[in-house]
Every structure is written in structure tokens, then in C-alpha cells.
Amino acid sequence: MQFIKNLVRNEDGATAIEYGLIAALIAVAAIAAMQGLGDQLSSTFTGVSECLEDSADGTAAANCAETT
């Protein structure tokens, strides 16, 4: 009988599950943020690449900033 009372009072497993759920939520939020940032970085590097290719040809696009 004492074993069952101790088992009911023991909350270590519940605490571990709560920490696991919190970690999972943080991981999902981090993945979502990184995907958005990755898309932005990809478009930025694509634009830089296009500007470099155009400047090598001598036909720089209007959206490429000139630095002197």
C-alpha cells in the first residue's frame, strides 16, 4: 500500500515530460525562425550573385548598388 502512495505522490516523471514538451516547443519555434531566415539569406545571396555576374559583363542592373 505504501508503494502505491509513493507512486501517486512521485511527480518526477511529470516534470520530465513537461520539460520535454517545453524543449519540443522551443525546437519547433527555432526551426520555423531558421527557415524564414534561410529564405531571406538565400534571396540576398542570389541577388549578390546576379549583381556580380552582371558587373563582370559590364551590364550592372539598376538594383545593384555601386560602390566607389
Per-residue pLDDT of the chain (68 residues; tens, 9 = 90+): 777 676 667 667 778 889 999 999 999 999 999 988 988 898 889 888 888 887 777 776 666 765 54
Return the amino acid letter for 5.
Answer: K
Distance CA 54, CA 63 (A): 11
Indicate whether this model's pTM tops 0.85: no
Query: In this structure, what C-alpha cell is assigned to residue 35?
Result: 527557415
Report the C-alpha gap between 17 and 27 in whole angstroms. 15
List the chain domain ranges.
Answer: 2-57
